[in-house]
Amino acid sequence: AKVGQKKESKASFDIDLKDAIDGQVVTRFPPEPSGYLHIGHAKAAVLNQYFAEMYHGKLIIRFDDTNPSKEKVEYTNAILKDLELLGIKGDRITHSSDYFQEMYDIAVQMIKDGNAYADDTPQEKMREERMDGIASVRRNRTVEENLQIFEEEMKKGTEIGLKHCLRAKISVDANNKTLRDPVVYRCNLTPHHRTGDKWKIYPTYDFCCPVVDSIEGVTHALRTIEYRDRNTQYEWMLKALKLRRVHVWDFSRVNFVRTLLSKRKLQWFVDQGRVAGWDDPRFPTVRGVRRRGMSVEGLRNFIIAQGPSKNILNLDWSLIWAINKKVIDPISPRYTAIENGIELTLEDGPADVVRETRPKHKKNADLGDKTMLLSCKLLIEQDDADTLSEGEEFTLMDWGNAIVTKLVRKDGKVTEIAAKLHLEGDFRKTEKKLTWLANTDELTPVEIVTFDHLITKDKIEEGENFEDYLTPETIFTSQSVADLNVRDLKEGDVIQFERKGYFRIDKAFDGKKAVLFNVPDGKVVSKYG
Ligand code: ATP
Ligand code: MG
Ligand code: MG
């Protein structure tokens, strides 16, 4: 076998898939349609796409829809949309349910070969027997008896059928507990969102995954590391069922501090009304982080950077936001916002407002120009004003230097301030470069929103309940005024406010105000966390 040429790509990691043949690799991303995609799923999706592209192979998007109690069409559509947001398009879109008949036939053959048996041991007792390495009393049923129960009772969802499951006959007491006769089929009378009430039995993940991987021509199945114990079982299934071999490649799960990555838990926040929806900016969903200002490229770079690591990680969010910052910084136009402003009178400033143009980004002319207003009435931040003293020379950013001519202070706070331009002064020599705006009726009110994590604990341990660690307050709003150019920004635009950070427009200016979300930039100690 020959390893394929790596695709030219900015972000790449040095790792190969075993026995990969260029042009013949098939990977698959198998989400269960039981919620929206989160950043952990994004990792799996991006890695599968990465390898498919690297080897000029194919990527299958497979909806793993074998549990009708949890799945809905709504989620299938949402997941396709999420993948589109990530720039991921499979070569084929399939469903595990496409293979219900084939899987059923394979299970029948499995029984005929003496590799499976029907068991009605109550769940609790089955668990105990499995723990203790004790054989089920049903383990030695005859093929005829097993077939009769599977085909006549379980398949029809009868009372007797509902009490049964089908188990692979692998081992009673293997050290690897995943080999202790795992369940391969069970009954469920809930109608399936695609097949309706045609089926009353459904394959388990342990059976469905190897079988469908093999049927669909998957060459390399990527699985998160906690399934590693199951790899032997996966291979056993393929061998016992006489199916084509598939390579399994383990990768690490990604976790973030103070973050829940589980569709079920995220659903709880949605149901409780603790978030506005699956695209809430506090959510680690693909939609949530995008809304918060994560770029697709930043997310992908982050995932590829994590690529080969097999450690289970509990990452700090600052890592991914720092990677994102590298992507957005060169393309984010610069604007100005003033929070808690005080008027500064510029004694020799223009009496009538002057309109000038400035580049939106000093190092990226492609972004074009913006309008800058000059006036004799300016607005600067109170906090900045409080640091100044009479006679001090400072810089008005993108205009020039000025010298404080008058300063009235009350209780340490500046209440009145005037200055004179000193445009021949050297801006490199001043200590303070202040942001400012012409105080005109073209100032644009903006609401700036910052967020905290939904839970207070870095990692919720086994046995702990996340509901005991909810952060009481997670949304913080403040009001500022911005330059007039901000009126033209559209929802989704990402910008920088000079000296403040990066922001994403969540609601464009509506005549009254615009709403902007702060985009974290990876600085660990930040007002905006
Ligand atoms: P959830 O509990 O959120 O539903 P899941 O693993 O049950 O997670 P699936 O829809 O079955 O969700 O997973 C689809 C793919 O995403 C699988 O390959 C799974 O291993 C992978 N995946 C899920 N969570 C993570 C994670 N935190 N890190 C990496 N990959 C993940
Ligand atoms: Mg799952
Ligand atoms: Mg799950």
- Distance between terminal CA atoms of the chain? 49
Q: Ligand 2 mean position to 65 CA, how many Å?
A: 10
What ligand is nearest to the CA atom of residue 253? 1
Task: Indicate which atom in ligand 1 lies nearest the CA of residue 32.
Answer: 10
| Ligand 1 atom 1: residue of nearest CA | 262
Does the beta carbon of 293 lie inside 6 Å of ligand 1? Answer: no
Ligand 1 pocket, residue 314 CB under 6 Å: no
Q: Is the CB of 284 under 6 A from ligand 1?
A: no
| Residues noted as catalytic | 32, 253, 263
Assess: ipTM above 0.90: yes
- Separation of 42 CA from ligand 1 center, angstroms? 9
Low-confidence stretches of the chain (pLDDT beneath 50):
1-10, 525-529
d(C-alpha 353, C-alpha 443), whole Å: 13
CATH topology assigned to domain 26-98+206-252? Rossmann fold (3.40.50)
What pTM does this model have?
0.90
pLDDT of residue 305: 86
Tokens encoding 378: 């300016």
Q: Which ligand is nearest to the CA of 224?
A: 1
Tell me, yes or no, if the two domains 26-98+206-252 and 341-441 fold the same way: no
For the Cβ of 262 lying below 6 angstroms from any atom of ligand 1, the answer is yes
Per CATH, is 101-204 categorized as 3.40.50.620? no
Residue pair 419/389 in contact (Cβ under 8 Å)? The answer is no
Chain CA centroid to CA 197, Å: 34
Atom of ligand 1 nearest to the CA of 261: 3
The owner of tokens 């698959």 is 28
State which ligand 1 atom lies nearest to the alpha carbon of 263: 3
Residue 32 CB–ligand 1 contact under 6 Å:
yes
**Residue 153 Cβ contacting ligand 1 at under 6 Å:** no
Long-range contacts of 353-357 (CB under 8 A, 24+ apart): 353/438, 353/440
Neighbours of ion ligand 2 (CB under 5 A): 32
Residue 400 dihedral angles phi and psi, to the nearest 5°: 160, -170
- Ligand 1 probe mutation, 28, 32, 34, 41, most atoms within 8 A of CB: 41
Q: Nearest C-alpha to atom 20 of ligand 1 is from which residue?
A: 224
CA 213–ligand 2 middle distance (angstroms): 15
Beta-sheet strands, E only, within 229-302: 247-251, 254-256
267 lines ligand 1 (CB under 6 A): no
Domain boundaries in the chain? 26-98+206-252, 101-204, 256-331, 341-441
Report CA(41)–ligand 1 centroid distance (Å): 5
**Nearest Cα residue to atom 26 of ligand 1:** 40
* 62 CA distance to ligand 2 middle (Å): 12
d(CA 31, CA 63): 5
CATH architecture of 256-331: Orthogonal Bundle (1.10)
How many whole angstroms from 189 Cα to the centroid of ligand 2? 20
For ligand 3, the distance from its centroid to the CA atom of residue 16, given in whole angstroms, is 28
Residue 394 Rama label (left phi>0; alpha psi -120 to 50; beta): beta
- Domain at 341-441, CATH class: mainly beta
Q: In the numeric block, which tokens belong to residue 346? A: 């510029």
254 lines ligand 1 (CB under 6 A): yes
Please tell me the distance from the alpha carbon of residue 398 to that of residue 419, in angstroms, as a whole number: 17
Out of 39, 95, 220, 224, mutate this one to test ligand 1's pocket (max ligand atoms within 8 Å of CB): namely: 224
Determine the Cα–Cα distance for residues 120 and 151; give it in Å rounded to an integer. 15
Distances (CA, A) of 260 to 104, 177, 266, 485, 507: 36, 28, 7, 38, 27
